[in-house]
Amino acid sequence: MAAESNLTRERPLVPEDSALLIVDVQNLCARRDGGEFKARSDAEIARDYAAYFAQLEEVAVPNMQRLLKAFRAASVEVLYTTIESLTRDGRDRSLDYKISGFNVPKGAWDAKVIDELAPEDDEMVFPKSSSSVFISTNIDYVLRNLGVKQLVICGLRTDHCVESAIRDACDLGYLVTQVTDACASITQERHENSLRTIKGYCRQVTTEALLAELPC
């Protein structure tokens, strides 16, 4: 049984116990021509999503690229989750997604991780139809098999799927590190409220600080 003294969430990464999970950075919602935005005019996007795309394209995606490069170089497992049904007609989706009228058919372009962050050969992608990847996929089983104890989480959106993943991962006993500047939400206020709400469930660090923990 683990001794309780010396337990802490502020534990630097141990590469062989760690994995990086990138949440929902897919064409659907991370590109202006993705399914979530394609019906909107450029004017609407400029008005309603300027802050989102600025944070995503200028900050979060470049940071995730740096994370990917460093984690792969350190042989840390890289995992992805995406919103994607297991069928084309979406009949396997959660009730929640059915109510939302939300279907990303299996194999669709919208389901693909964006090219800038594309999975490499033999990296795993978990298609999901729930906010929390832990509810609708077998990722907890896989993480257990991989021996992962520390889970680094980033992606979209801070206050929805990222936050649900962090809450459940923490409850399940993973030491969670959230990379704050590798996440984004629709507004900066939503992003920051979420960080404050869940700061007791994880360690929150910047990309820069996290990279400094990895062996060079």
| Cβ atoms < 10 Å from Cβ of 135 | 16
139 Cα distance to chain centroid: 13
Query: Could you tell me the two tokens for 112?
Result: 């693909």
For residue 7, state whether it binds a copy of itself (rule: CB under 8 A). Answer: yes
| Cβ atoms < 10 Å from Cβ of 188 | 14
For residue 200, state whether it binds a copy of itself (rule: CB under 8 A). Answer: yes
Query: Could you tell me the two tokens for 43?
Result: 């004017």
Query: Could you tell me the two tokens for 88?
Result: 């084309």
Q: Which H or E run contains 66?
A: helix 61-73
Piece in contact with a copy of itself (CB under 8 A), picked from 21-29, 61-69, 121-129, 206-214: 121-129
Partnered with residue 127 across adjacent β-strands are 82
For residue 73, state whether it binds a copy of itself (rule: CB under 8 A). Answer: no
Rg of the chain's alpha carbons, rounded to an integer? 17
From residue 143 to residue 182, the character string flagging contacts with a copy of itself as x (rule: CB under 8 A) and all else as - is: -xxxx-----------xx--xx--xx-xxxx-x-------
For residue 14, state whether it binds a copy of itself (rule: CB under 8 A). Answer: no
Nearer to a copy of itself, 62 or 105 (CB): 105
Q: Which residue has the tokens 């459940």?
A: 168
Q: Kindly state the number of chain residues that form the binding site for a copy of itself, as judged by CB under 8 A.
A: 57
Q: Which residues bind a copy of itself (CB under 8 A)?
A: 1-2, 4, 7-9, 16, 77, 86-89, 91-96, 98-101, 106, 122, 124, 129-132, 134-138, 141-142, 144-147, 159-160, 163-164, 167-168, 170-173, 175, 190, 193-194, 197, 200-201
